[in-house]
Amino acid sequence: MVESQSIKLLQETSKVHFTGEIGNQTTVTEFSLLGYSAVRELQILHFVVFLSIYLAALVGNFLLILTVAQNPSLRSPMYFFLANLSLSDACYISATVPKSMTISMTNSNLISFSGCLIQLFLVVTCAGAELTFLTVMAYDRYVAICHPLQYATVMNWNVCFQMAAASWISSLINAAIHTANTFRLYFCTPKIKQFFCDIPQLLIMSCTDATTSVVVLLVETIVICSFCFFYILTSYGFIFCTVFKIQSAQARSKAFSTCIPHLAVFCLFLFTGVFSYLRPRSLSTPLVDPVAAVLYTILPPLLNPIIYSLRNKEIQAAMQKMSKNLFRFHLIM
């Protein structure tokens, strides 16, 4: 009797539907995202800020993809992987921000069970693709700068397509594993203290034993992130040693212009992601959690095209050329 009353009270207070009971657990069919203000003015501000960020990220990333596709001078492995990274960024930010804007405008913070599952799958897929492409790009720069005579042989187009396909496929498989591992659990509460469905918050909500899911998440995060970090650190150690031996100042500047943006993007994404997933629960607060999530899900897709465009003179020249061609086309029309 007490149990049925508590379930009824939980349904009324959270406005979340349940399909029934399994033992002492409850099957959730909708989740309530609590990372939003109840003040209408702040909701509108949230919508405007996220809309501006979303449009800027989409325009920046698709402009970068279009620039690489339209300019023969940029048809090299480095820019091929950069275009894949931009595609991943566009999908990454699209997995969370549109739903967030919809919630702000409709004042309804509910997301269906299937919607939460799909959102989590997309976020993990794009985050994995982001990390793998950043690592692959480090390998590309290492071969190009440290072994320039072997570059055309090592980084041929067959190898590039295979590496890109492996990055996407491994990210999809990894996301499927984590999504299945998370949603096999039953949840004591449907309230997610975040503005989107994220693994750490869902594991906290579990009323079944989530030890296996937590261990799998921690081990994989530590192993993969450590491997990528030390691999990129080692690659750039060799790269910088080679660059400092180059006598031409122009050649050194060109090498740094392609390496420094990539290193900055990687550090931004890796450290914010690791902080979000591996920080102790004592650092989890209603303010820290959303800020950390924004840093690793929204900031990289927004800043990546800006960083690469500002630091890479070849991309700047290609964008200027493409803009002039488009402008002339519109004048003729």
**Which pLDDT does position 83 carry in this prediction?**
92
Determine, yes or no, domain membership for 52.
yes
Determine, yes or no, domain membership for 22.
no
Residue 218: alpha-carbon gap to chain centroid: 18
H helices of 279-312, in order, are 288-297, 299-311
**Structural domain total, the chain:** 1
**Which pLDDT does position 61 carry in this prediction?**
93
H or E element: which one contains 266? helix 249-278
Determine, yes or no, domain membership for 137.
yes
**Which pLDDT does position 174 carry in this prediction?**
92
Determine, yes or no, domain membership for 14.
no
**Which pLDDT does position 319 carry in this prediction?**
76
At residue 191, what are phi and psi to the nearest 5 degrees? -95, 115
3-state secondary structure of 1: coil
3-state secondary structure of 121: helix
Determine, yes or no, domain membership for 159.
yes
Determine, yes or no, domain membership for 104.
yes
Strand partners, 26: 21
Q: What is the CATH number of the domain that holds 287?
A: 1.20.1070.10
Q: By residue range, what is the domain housing residue 254? A: 38-332
Token duo for residue 251 = 């050649």
Determine, yes or no, domain membership for 55.
yes
Q: In sequence order, what DSSP letters do the residues of 221-234 get, joined into one string?
A: HHHHHHHHHHHHHH
DSSP 156: -
Environment class of 62 (CB within 10 Å of its CB; exposed 0-12, middle 13-18, buried 19+): middle
CB of 258 closer than 8 Å to CB of 78: yes
Determine, yes or no, domain membership for 127.
yes
List Cα–Cα distances, 83 to 42, 67, 117, 202, 305, in angstroms. Answer: 35, 9, 27, 32, 10
Token duo for residue 326 = 């488009």
Distance between CA 227 and CA 176 in Å, rounded? 21
Distance between CA 233 and CA 290 in Å, rounded? 29
Residue ranges of the chain whose pLDDT lies below 50: 1-25, 329-333
Distance between CA 241 and CA 145 in Å, rounded? 10
